Chain A
Amino acid sequence: MTLFHCSACGKAYVARPVYCRCGSQEFRAGEASGKGCVYSCTTLYAAAEKFEKDLPFQIAIIELDDGPRLTARISGRPVEIGDAVTHLHEQEGVHFFQAA
Protein backbone atom coordinates (compact mmCIF):
# COMPACT_ATOMS: atom_id res chain seq x y z
CA MET A 1 0.00 0.00 0.00
CA THR A 2 1.04 3.60 -0.63
CA LEU A 3 1.89 6.01 2.21
CA PHE A 4 2.78 9.69 2.05
CA HIS A 5 5.93 10.77 3.89
CA CYS A 6 6.60 14.36 4.92
CA SER A 7 9.76 15.54 3.14
CA ALA A 8 10.74 17.66 6.16
CA CYS A 9 10.19 15.41 9.19
CA GLY A 10 9.49 11.98 7.66
CA LYS A 11 6.10 11.49 9.35
CA ALA A 12 3.93 9.02 7.40
CA TYR A 13 0.28 9.53 6.43
CA VAL A 14 -2.29 7.18 4.87
CA ALA A 15 -3.93 10.04 2.93
CA ARG A 16 -1.94 13.02 1.64
CA PRO A 17 -2.62 15.86 4.11
CA VAL A 18 -2.65 19.55 3.21
CA TYR A 19 -0.10 20.32 5.93
CA CYS A 20 2.11 18.02 7.98
CA ARG A 21 1.82 18.64 11.72
CA CYS A 22 5.37 20.07 11.43
CA GLY A 23 4.08 22.71 8.98
CA SER A 24 5.62 21.31 5.81
CA GLN A 25 3.54 20.95 2.65
CA GLU A 26 5.88 18.62 0.77
CA PHE A 27 5.21 14.90 0.67
CA ARG A 28 6.64 11.98 -1.25
CA ALA A 29 4.63 8.84 -1.97
CA GLY A 30 6.22 5.51 -1.17
CA GLU A 31 5.31 1.84 -0.95
CA ALA A 32 4.82 0.52 2.59
CA SER A 33 4.96 -3.05 3.90
CA GLY A 34 1.24 -3.07 4.70
CA LYS A 35 2.06 -4.82 7.99
CA GLY A 36 0.50 -3.63 11.21
CA CYS A 37 -1.49 -4.63 14.25
CA VAL A 38 -5.06 -4.12 15.47
CA TYR A 39 -5.47 -1.09 17.78
CA SER A 40 -9.22 -1.69 18.15
CA CYS A 41 -12.00 -3.43 16.25
CA THR A 42 -15.71 -4.27 16.19
CA THR A 43 -18.13 -6.45 14.30
CA LEU A 44 -21.16 -4.57 12.95
CA TYR A 45 -24.65 -6.10 12.96
CA ALA A 46 -26.35 -2.91 11.72
CA ALA A 47 -25.02 -0.60 9.03
CA ALA A 48 -25.81 2.32 6.77
CA GLU A 49 -27.86 1.57 3.62
CA LYS A 50 -24.84 1.10 1.37
CA PHE A 51 -23.26 -1.58 3.59
CA GLU A 52 -26.33 -3.55 4.71
CA LYS A 53 -25.57 -6.27 2.15
CA ASP A 54 -22.18 -6.92 3.84
CA LEU A 55 -23.55 -7.54 7.37
CA PRO A 56 -22.15 -8.76 9.65
CA PHE A 57 -18.66 -7.38 8.93
CA GLN A 58 -15.65 -6.36 10.97
CA ILE A 59 -13.89 -2.99 10.90
CA ALA A 60 -10.70 -2.11 12.75
CA ILE A 61 -8.31 0.70 13.49
CA ILE A 62 -4.97 -0.65 12.24
CA GLU A 63 -1.67 0.70 13.49
CA LEU A 64 0.79 0.28 10.63
CA ASP A 65 4.41 -0.65 11.36
CA ASP A 66 5.30 2.58 9.51
CA GLY A 67 3.45 4.65 12.13
CA PRO A 68 0.06 5.92 11.02
CA ARG A 69 -3.30 4.41 11.88
CA LEU A 70 -6.27 3.94 9.58
CA THR A 71 -9.82 2.64 9.71
CA ALA A 72 -10.07 -0.50 7.58
CA ARG A 73 -12.21 -3.53 6.80
CA ILE A 74 -11.14 -7.01 7.94
CA SER A 75 -11.46 -9.94 5.52
CA GLY A 76 -11.48 -13.58 6.57
CA ARG A 77 -11.37 -14.67 10.20
CA PRO A 78 -12.21 -12.04 12.85
CA VAL A 79 -9.27 -10.36 14.60
CA GLU A 80 -8.69 -9.13 18.17
CA ILE A 81 -6.83 -6.14 19.61
CA GLY A 82 -3.07 -6.72 19.28
CA ASP A 83 -3.35 -9.22 16.40
CA ALA A 84 -0.85 -8.84 13.56
CA VAL A 85 -2.51 -8.05 10.21
CA THR A 86 -1.40 -7.51 6.61
CA HIS A 87 -2.80 -5.33 3.88
CA LEU A 88 -4.85 -7.31 1.36
CA HIS A 89 -6.09 -4.79 -1.20
CA GLU A 90 -7.70 -1.40 -1.67
CA GLN A 91 -11.12 -1.09 -3.21
CA GLU A 92 -12.79 2.26 -3.91
CA GLY A 93 -10.59 3.92 -1.31
CA VAL A 94 -11.26 1.31 1.40
CA HIS A 95 -8.34 -0.71 2.70
CA PHE A 96 -8.89 -4.39 3.47
CA PHE A 97 -6.64 -6.25 5.92
CA GLN A 98 -6.47 -9.87 7.08
CA ALA A 99 -4.93 -11.70 10.02
CA ALA A 100 -1.23 -12.26 9.40
Chain B
Amino acid sequence: MRPVSIIGIGKTPFGAFPDKSLLDLAVEAGRKCLKNGNISPAQVEAFYLGNFAGPAFVGQNHLAPYVAAAMGLEGVPATRFEAACASSGSAFFHACSAVAGGMYDVVLVAGVEKMTSQPTPRVTDILASAGELGGEVKAGATFPSLFAMIARRHMYQFGTTREHLAAVAVKNHSNGAKNPEAHMRKVITMEQALAGRMIADPLTIYDCSLVSDGAAAVLLCPAERAAEFTSKPARVLGVAQASDRLALADKEDITTFPAVRQAGQKAYQMAGMTARDIDFAELHDCFTIAEIIAMEDLGFVPRGEGGPATAAGFSALNGEKPINTSGGLKTKGHPVGATGVAQICDLVLQLRCEAGERQLSRAGIGLAQNLGGSGATCVVTILGR
Protein backbone atom coordinates (compact mmCIF):
# COMPACT_ATOMS: atom_id res chain seq x y z
CA MET B 1 0.00 0.00 0.00
CA ARG B 2 1.17 3.50 -0.86
CA PRO B 3 1.14 6.23 1.80
CA VAL B 4 -1.54 8.85 1.07
CA SER B 5 -1.40 12.63 1.56
CA ILE B 6 -3.99 15.37 1.72
CA ILE B 7 -3.00 18.16 -0.64
CA GLY B 8 -6.03 20.43 -0.55
CA ILE B 9 -8.95 21.35 1.69
CA GLY B 10 -12.08 23.43 1.12
CA LYS B 11 -15.11 24.15 3.24
CA THR B 12 -18.18 26.34 3.12
CA PRO B 13 -19.13 28.11 6.32
CA PHE B 14 -21.69 26.02 8.25
CA GLY B 15 -25.07 27.53 9.09
CA ALA B 16 -28.59 28.08 7.79
CA PHE B 17 -28.36 29.33 4.21
CA PRO B 18 -31.82 29.66 2.66
CA ASP B 19 -30.34 31.00 -0.58
CA LYS B 20 -27.88 28.15 -1.15
CA SER B 21 -28.91 24.78 -2.60
CA LEU B 22 -27.20 21.46 -1.91
CA LEU B 23 -25.47 21.85 -5.27
CA ASP B 24 -24.31 25.42 -4.50
CA LEU B 25 -22.76 24.26 -1.23
CA ALA B 26 -21.05 21.18 -2.67
CA VAL B 27 -19.64 23.09 -5.64
CA GLU B 28 -18.38 25.93 -3.41
CA ALA B 29 -16.48 23.48 -1.17
CA GLY B 30 -15.18 21.46 -4.12
CA ARG B 31 -13.96 24.50 -6.03
CA LYS B 32 -12.25 25.96 -2.94
CA CYS B 33 -10.55 22.62 -2.40
CA LEU B 34 -9.30 22.33 -5.99
CA LYS B 35 -7.91 25.86 -5.76
CA ASN B 36 -6.32 25.10 -2.39
CA GLY B 37 -4.59 22.05 -3.90
CA ASN B 38 -3.62 23.80 -7.15
CA ILE B 39 -5.50 21.16 -9.11
CA SER B 40 -7.62 21.66 -12.22
CA PRO B 41 -10.86 19.66 -12.53
CA ALA B 42 -9.32 17.74 -15.45
CA GLN B 43 -6.63 16.29 -13.15
CA VAL B 44 -9.16 14.65 -10.80
CA GLU B 45 -9.43 10.91 -11.49
CA ALA B 46 -12.32 9.97 -9.18
CA PHE B 47 -14.96 11.63 -7.01
CA TYR B 48 -16.25 10.30 -3.68
CA LEU B 49 -19.27 12.02 -2.11
CA GLY B 50 -20.57 11.59 1.42
CA ASN B 51 -24.24 12.46 1.84
CA PHE B 52 -26.76 11.11 4.32
CA ALA B 53 -30.22 12.09 3.14
CA GLY B 54 -30.15 14.36 0.10
CA PRO B 55 -33.11 12.48 -1.43
CA ALA B 56 -35.21 13.11 1.72
CA PHE B 57 -33.98 16.64 2.48
CA VAL B 58 -34.02 18.10 -1.04
CA GLY B 59 -35.57 15.42 -3.26
CA GLN B 60 -32.53 14.80 -5.48
CA ASN B 61 -31.12 11.31 -5.88
CA HIS B 62 -28.08 10.07 -7.87
CA LEU B 63 -26.13 12.83 -6.19
CA ALA B 64 -22.49 12.00 -6.92
CA PRO B 65 -22.53 12.49 -10.72
CA TYR B 66 -24.94 15.43 -10.23
CA VAL B 67 -22.40 17.20 -8.00
CA ALA B 68 -19.35 16.02 -10.00
CA ALA B 69 -20.66 17.46 -13.26
CA ALA B 70 -21.48 20.79 -11.61
CA MET B 71 -17.90 20.96 -10.30
CA GLY B 72 -16.54 20.41 -13.80
CA LEU B 73 -15.38 16.84 -13.22
CA GLU B 74 -16.25 15.18 -16.52
CA GLY B 75 -16.68 11.45 -16.92
CA VAL B 76 -14.83 10.31 -13.79
CA PRO B 77 -16.22 7.59 -11.51
CA ALA B 78 -18.48 9.43 -9.07
CA THR B 79 -19.98 7.55 -6.14
CA ARG B 80 -22.10 8.50 -3.14
CA PHE B 81 -21.47 6.98 0.30
CA GLU B 82 -24.21 6.82 2.92
CA ALA B 83 -23.40 5.88 6.51
CA ALA B 84 -25.64 8.27 8.47
CA CYS B 85 -23.48 10.93 10.17
CA ALA B 86 -20.34 9.04 9.08
CA SER B 87 -21.19 9.31 5.37
CA SER B 88 -18.25 11.48 4.35
CA GLY B 89 -15.90 9.76 6.81
CA SER B 90 -16.74 6.58 4.94
CA ALA B 91 -16.23 8.29 1.55
CA PHE B 92 -12.81 9.47 2.81
CA PHE B 93 -11.87 5.98 4.05
CA HIS B 94 -12.75 4.39 0.70
CA ALA B 95 -10.99 7.13 -1.29
CA CYS B 96 -7.84 6.59 0.81
CA SER B 97 -8.09 2.84 0.13
CA ALA B 98 -8.29 3.44 -3.63
CA VAL B 99 -5.29 5.81 -3.68
CA ALA B 100 -3.28 3.59 -1.34
CA GLY B 101 -4.05 0.58 -3.54
CA GLY B 102 -2.82 2.36 -6.66
CA MET B 103 -6.16 2.63 -8.44
CA TYR B 104 -5.96 6.44 -8.74
CA ASP B 105 -3.52 9.25 -7.97
CA VAL B 106 -5.62 12.40 -7.60
CA VAL B 107 -9.00 11.96 -5.92
CA LEU B 108 -11.55 14.49 -4.65
CA VAL B 109 -13.64 13.60 -1.58
CA ALA B 110 -16.54 15.80 -0.56
CA GLY B 111 -19.39 15.73 1.92
CA VAL B 112 -22.57 17.78 1.81
CA GLU B 113 -25.91 18.13 3.58
CA LYS B 114 -28.67 20.67 3.07
CA MET B 115 -30.88 20.34 6.17
CA THR B 116 -32.52 23.67 7.01
CA SER B 117 -35.02 23.71 4.16
CA GLN B 118 -37.21 21.33 6.21
CA PRO B 119 -39.11 22.12 9.46
CA THR B 120 -37.56 20.67 12.66
CA PRO B 121 -40.04 17.78 13.20
CA ARG B 122 -39.41 16.64 9.61
CA VAL B 123 -35.63 16.91 10.16
CA THR B 124 -36.04 14.82 13.34
CA ASP B 125 -37.97 12.27 11.27
CA ILE B 126 -35.31 12.05 8.57
CA LEU B 127 -32.49 11.77 11.12
CA ALA B 128 -34.40 9.10 13.06
CA SER B 129 -34.45 6.94 9.94
CA ALA B 130 -30.76 6.23 10.62
CA GLY B 131 -31.92 4.40 13.74
CA GLU B 132 -33.36 0.91 13.61
CA LEU B 133 -36.75 1.17 11.93
CA GLY B 134 -38.38 -1.98 13.31
CA GLY B 135 -37.93 -1.26 17.02
CA GLU B 136 -36.49 2.14 17.89
CA VAL B 137 -38.13 4.38 15.32
CA LYS B 138 -41.50 2.63 15.65
CA ALA B 139 -41.47 3.27 19.42
CA GLY B 140 -40.94 7.00 18.80
CA ALA B 141 -37.20 7.17 19.49
CA THR B 142 -35.31 10.17 18.11
CA PHE B 143 -31.54 10.54 17.96
CA PRO B 144 -31.46 12.80 21.02
CA SER B 145 -33.51 10.18 22.90
CA LEU B 146 -31.14 7.33 21.94
CA PHE B 147 -28.15 9.32 23.17
CA ALA B 148 -30.16 10.34 26.23
CA MET B 149 -30.53 6.65 27.11
CA ILE B 150 -26.80 6.21 26.53
CA ALA B 151 -26.14 9.18 28.85
CA ARG B 152 -28.51 7.87 31.53
CA ARG B 153 -26.78 4.49 31.51
CA HIS B 154 -23.31 6.12 31.57
CA MET B 155 -24.41 8.18 34.58
CA TYR B 156 -25.77 5.04 36.26
CA GLN B 157 -22.64 2.95 35.68
CA PHE B 158 -19.90 5.55 36.15
CA GLY B 159 -21.40 8.44 38.10
CA THR B 160 -21.19 10.84 35.17
CA THR B 161 -23.18 14.00 35.97
CA ARG B 162 -25.11 16.64 34.05
CA GLU B 163 -22.28 19.05 34.98
CA HIS B 164 -19.85 16.75 33.15
CA LEU B 165 -22.05 16.84 30.03
CA ALA B 166 -22.40 20.61 30.30
CA ALA B 167 -18.60 20.95 30.57
CA VAL B 168 -18.33 19.52 27.05
CA ALA B 169 -20.85 22.08 25.77
CA VAL B 170 -19.15 25.01 27.52
CA LYS B 171 -15.74 24.00 26.11
CA ASN B 172 -17.02 23.52 22.54
CA HIS B 173 -18.91 26.82 22.65
CA SER B 174 -15.73 28.55 23.79
CA ASN B 175 -13.76 26.99 20.89
CA GLY B 176 -16.48 27.63 18.32
CA ALA B 177 -16.58 31.31 19.24
CA LYS B 178 -13.01 31.50 17.89
CA ASN B 179 -13.93 29.80 14.58
CA PRO B 180 -15.06 32.32 11.92
CA GLU B 181 -16.77 29.54 9.93
CA ALA B 182 -18.75 28.08 12.84
CA HIS B 183 -22.55 28.00 12.77
CA MET B 184 -22.92 29.37 16.32
CA ARG B 185 -20.26 31.71 17.71
CA LYS B 186 -21.44 32.21 21.26
CA VAL B 187 -19.66 31.61 24.56
CA ILE B 188 -21.95 30.04 27.19
CA THR B 189 -21.64 29.55 30.94
CA MET B 190 -22.10 26.34 32.92
CA GLU B 191 -25.31 27.82 34.39
CA GLN B 192 -26.75 28.47 30.92
CA ALA B 193 -25.87 24.97 29.74
CA LEU B 194 -27.56 23.40 32.77
CA ALA B 195 -30.67 25.54 32.41
CA GLY B 196 -31.21 24.73 28.73
CA ARG B 197 -34.57 23.53 27.44
CA MET B 198 -34.92 19.76 27.93
CA ILE B 199 -34.98 17.75 24.68
CA ALA B 200 -34.71 14.18 26.00
CA ASP B 201 -33.83 13.91 29.66
CA PRO B 202 -30.96 14.37 30.68
CA LEU B 203 -30.00 16.10 27.40
CA THR B 204 -30.89 19.77 26.99
CA ILE B 205 -30.67 21.85 23.84
CA TYR B 206 -27.05 22.60 24.84
CA ASP B 207 -26.16 18.89 24.74
CA CYS B 208 -27.30 18.58 21.12
CA SER B 209 -25.40 19.49 17.95
CA LEU B 210 -26.86 21.89 15.42
CA VAL B 211 -28.96 21.33 12.32
CA SER B 212 -26.88 22.98 9.61
CA ASP B 213 -26.26 23.38 5.90
CA GLY B 214 -22.73 22.97 4.66
CA ALA B 215 -20.14 21.14 2.59
CA ALA B 216 -16.47 20.21 2.88
CA ALA B 217 -13.91 18.66 0.55
CA VAL B 218 -10.36 17.29 0.57
CA LEU B 219 -7.97 16.27 -2.20
CA LEU B 220 -5.89 13.11 -1.91
CA CYS B 221 -2.82 11.89 -3.77
CA PRO B 222 0.03 9.43 -3.15
CA ALA B 223 2.45 10.92 -0.59
CA GLU B 224 5.32 10.63 -3.09
CA ARG B 225 3.55 13.14 -5.38
CA ALA B 226 2.32 15.59 -2.72
CA ALA B 227 5.20 18.05 -3.21
CA GLU B 228 4.06 18.64 -6.82
CA PHE B 229 0.93 20.34 -5.50
CA THR B 230 1.60 21.84 -2.07
CA SER B 231 4.34 22.76 0.39
CA LYS B 232 2.11 21.77 3.33
CA PRO B 233 0.74 18.28 2.73
CA ALA B 234 -0.82 16.30 5.57
CA ARG B 235 -0.02 12.60 5.74
CA VAL B 236 -2.74 9.99 6.35
CA LEU B 237 -0.92 7.91 8.98
CA GLY B 238 -3.88 5.68 9.78
CA VAL B 239 -7.49 5.33 8.67
CA ALA B 240 -10.04 2.65 9.51
CA GLN B 241 -13.76 2.02 9.40
CA ALA B 242 -15.79 -0.41 11.51
CA SER B 243 -19.44 -1.36 11.91
CA ASP B 244 -21.86 -2.61 14.55
CA ARG B 245 -25.56 -3.43 14.99
CA LEU B 246 -27.97 -0.53 14.51
CA ALA B 247 -30.31 -0.95 17.49
CA LEU B 248 -29.13 0.06 20.95
CA ALA B 249 -31.27 -2.76 22.35
CA ASP B 250 -29.08 -5.26 20.45
CA LYS B 251 -25.84 -4.03 22.05
CA GLU B 252 -24.41 -5.64 25.13
CA ASP B 253 -23.30 -2.36 26.72
CA ILE B 254 -24.49 1.01 25.40
CA THR B 255 -21.89 3.03 27.35
CA THR B 256 -19.19 2.07 24.84
CA PHE B 257 -19.13 1.82 21.04
CA PRO B 258 -17.37 -1.34 19.76
CA ALA B 259 -17.10 0.21 16.26
CA VAL B 260 -15.18 3.18 17.72
CA ARG B 261 -12.85 0.88 19.63
CA GLN B 262 -12.25 -1.29 16.57
CA ALA B 263 -11.71 1.57 14.12
CA GLY B 264 -9.48 3.28 16.70
CA GLN B 265 -7.35 0.19 17.29
CA LYS B 266 -6.92 -0.40 13.54
CA ALA B 267 -6.00 3.23 12.88
CA TYR B 268 -3.52 3.27 15.78
CA GLN B 269 -2.01 0.02 14.51
CA MET B 270 -1.69 1.36 10.95
CA ALA B 271 0.00 4.52 12.28
CA GLY B 272 2.19 2.54 14.71
CA MET B 273 0.88 4.72 17.51
CA THR B 274 -1.14 4.71 20.70
CA ALA B 275 -3.53 7.25 22.19
CA ARG B 276 -0.55 8.84 23.95
CA ASP B 277 0.93 9.95 20.60
CA ILE B 278 -2.15 11.98 19.63
CA ASP B 279 -1.69 15.73 20.18
CA PHE B 280 -5.26 16.83 19.45
CA ALA B 281 -8.52 15.46 18.10
CA GLU B 282 -11.82 16.24 16.43
CA LEU B 283 -14.33 13.86 18.05
CA HIS B 284 -17.92 13.29 16.94
CA ASP B 285 -19.86 15.31 19.53
CA CYS B 286 -23.32 14.89 17.99
CA PHE B 287 -24.31 14.97 21.67
CA THR B 288 -22.09 15.90 24.62
CA ILE B 289 -22.15 12.30 25.93
CA ALA B 290 -20.78 11.09 22.57
CA GLU B 291 -17.59 13.14 23.04
CA ILE B 292 -17.15 11.73 26.56
CA ILE B 293 -17.57 8.13 25.35
CA ALA B 294 -15.29 8.71 22.33
CA MET B 295 -12.52 9.92 24.68
CA GLU B 296 -12.87 6.65 26.57
CA ASP B 297 -13.24 4.33 23.57
CA LEU B 298 -10.16 5.85 21.89
CA GLY B 299 -8.11 5.36 25.05
CA PHE B 300 -7.54 9.06 25.80
CA VAL B 301 -8.84 8.38 29.33
CA PRO B 302 -9.93 5.19 31.16
CA ARG B 303 -13.58 4.13 30.96
CA GLY B 304 -15.92 6.26 32.99
CA GLU B 305 -13.43 9.11 33.32
CA GLY B 306 -14.37 11.14 30.25
CA GLY B 307 -16.73 13.41 32.19
CA PRO B 308 -14.42 14.25 35.12
CA ALA B 309 -11.46 14.70 32.71
CA THR B 310 -13.45 17.20 30.63
CA ALA B 311 -14.53 19.12 33.75
CA ALA B 312 -10.85 19.24 34.82
CA GLY B 313 -9.80 20.86 31.51
CA PHE B 314 -8.06 17.81 29.96
CA SER B 315 -9.61 18.51 26.53
CA ALA B 316 -9.64 22.34 26.63
CA LEU B 317 -7.73 24.44 24.08
CA ASN B 318 -4.85 24.71 26.59
CA GLY B 319 -5.39 21.22 28.03
CA GLU B 320 -3.40 18.02 27.82
CA LYS B 321 -5.24 16.80 24.71
CA PRO B 322 -7.34 19.53 23.07
CA ILE B 323 -10.58 18.12 21.63
CA ASN B 324 -12.77 19.84 19.04
CA THR B 325 -10.74 23.01 18.65
CA SER B 326 -13.14 23.80 15.77
CA GLY B 327 -16.05 24.00 18.20
CA GLY B 328 -17.15 20.50 17.25
CA LEU B 329 -20.51 19.51 15.83
CA LYS B 330 -21.97 21.32 18.81
CA THR B 331 -21.10 24.83 17.59
CA LYS B 332 -19.28 24.50 14.27
CA GLY B 333 -22.46 22.84 13.04
CA HIS B 334 -23.43 19.35 11.89
CA PRO B 335 -24.49 19.16 8.25
CA VAL B 336 -24.59 15.39 8.67
CA GLY B 337 -23.06 14.24 5.39
CA ALA B 338 -20.34 16.93 5.46
CA THR B 339 -19.14 16.33 9.01
CA GLY B 340 -16.56 13.57 8.44
CA VAL B 341 -14.64 15.48 5.78
CA ALA B 342 -15.04 18.76 7.70
CA GLN B 343 -13.29 17.13 10.68
CA ILE B 344 -10.39 16.20 8.37
CA CYS B 345 -10.25 19.83 7.12
CA ASP B 346 -10.07 21.05 10.72
CA LEU B 347 -7.21 18.68 11.54
CA VAL B 348 -5.32 19.88 8.45
CA LEU B 349 -5.80 23.54 9.46
CA GLN B 350 -4.11 22.79 12.80
CA LEU B 351 -1.32 20.74 11.16
CA ARG B 352 -0.63 23.61 8.72
CA CYS B 353 -0.73 26.17 11.56
CA GLU B 354 -3.62 27.93 9.81
CA ALA B 355 -6.18 27.63 12.63
CA GLY B 356 -6.03 31.32 13.58
CA GLU B 357 -7.13 32.24 17.09
CA ARG B 358 -7.57 28.58 18.05
CA GLN B 359 -4.16 27.42 16.76
CA LEU B 360 -2.44 24.97 19.09
CA SER B 361 1.28 25.25 19.81
CA ARG B 362 1.67 21.46 19.68
CA ALA B 363 -0.22 20.14 16.65
CA GLY B 364 1.94 17.43 15.07
CA ILE B 365 -0.46 14.46 15.17
CA GLY B 366 -4.26 14.81 14.97
CA LEU B 367 -7.06 12.26 15.18
CA ALA B 368 -10.59 12.50 13.78
CA GLN B 369 -13.45 10.23 14.84
CA ASN B 370 -16.65 10.24 12.78
CA LEU B 371 -19.63 8.29 14.17
CA GLY B 372 -22.67 7.11 12.22
CA GLY B 373 -26.04 6.80 13.91
CA SER B 374 -25.84 5.49 17.45
CA GLY B 375 -22.53 3.80 16.70
CA ALA B 376 -23.24 1.41 13.80
CA THR B 377 -20.47 3.01 11.71
CA CYS B 378 -17.25 4.63 12.86
CA VAL B 379 -14.31 6.01 10.89
CA VAL B 380 -11.10 6.99 12.69
CA THR B 381 -8.34 8.90 10.89
CA ILE B 382 -4.88 9.85 12.15
CA LEU B 383 -3.02 12.63 10.34
CA GLY B 384 0.52 13.94 10.62
CA ARG B 385 2.67 16.38 8.69
- Identify which of residues 39-89 in chain A touch chain B, using a CB-to-CB cut-off of 8 Å: 39-52, 54, 57, 59-61, 68-73, 81-82
Is B100 interfacial (CB-CB < 8 Å)?
A: no
A72 touches B139 (CB 8 A): yes
Complexed CA–CA distance, A60 and B200 (Å): 12
Q: Is B199 positioned at the interface, with any CB of A under 8 Å from its CB? A: yes
Residues of A within 8 Å of B138, CB to CB, are: 92-94
Chain A proximity of B146: nearest CB distance (Å): 8
Partner of A41, one of B125, B140, B149: B149
Q: Report if A1 contacts B (CB, 8 A).
A: no
* Chain B residues whose C-beta falls within 8 Å of the C-beta of A49 in the assembled complex: 121-122, 124-125
A8 within 8 A of B: no
Is B250 an interface position by the 8 A CB rule?
Answer: yes
Closest A residue to B151 by beta carbon equals A42
Contact A51 B201, beta carbon cutoff 8 Å: no
Give which listed residue, B134, B140, B250, contacts A69 with CB less than 8 A. Answer: B250
Task: Answer whether residue B142 sits at the interface, using C-beta atoms and an 8 A cutoff.
Answer: yes
The yes or no answer to B80 lying at the interface (CB within 8 A) is: no
Query: Are B153's CB and A71's CB within 8 A?
Result: no
> Interface size for chain B: under 10, 10 to 19, 20 to 34, or 35 or more residues?
35 or more
A77 vs B296: C-alpha distance when bound (angstroms):
34
Check: B249 CB closer than 8 A to any chain A CB: yes
Given contacts A39-B153, A71-B141, contact A52 B135 (CB under 8 A): no
B-side contacts of A42, CB under 8 Å: 145, 148-149, 152, 200-203
Verify A51–B135 contact, CB threshold 8 A. Answer: no
- Asked whether B144 is an interface residue with its Cβ less than 8 Å from the other chain, the reply is yes
Interface residue? A15 (CB, 8 A): yes
Q: Is B78 an interface residue (CB 8 A)?
A: no
CA distance A79 to B55 in the complex (A): 38
Contact among B134, B156, B199 with A40 in the assembled complex (CB-CB below 8 Å):
B156
With both chains docked as a complex, state the minimum distance between the C-beta of B222 and any C-beta of chain A, in angstroms: 41
Contact B142 A73 (CB under 8 A): no
Q: Which residue of B is nearest A46, CB measured?
A: B199
Residue of A nearest to B199 (CB): A46
12 A-B contacts, Cβ less than 8 Å apart?
A: A42-B203, A44-B142, A44-B144, A44-B145, A46-B142, A59-B149, A70-B135, A71-B248, A72-B139, A73-B139, A92-B138, A93-B134
Give me the interface of B with A, judged by CB distance under 8 Å.
120-122, 124-125, 128, 132, 134-142, 144-145, 148-150, 152-153, 156, 197-203, 247-250, 254
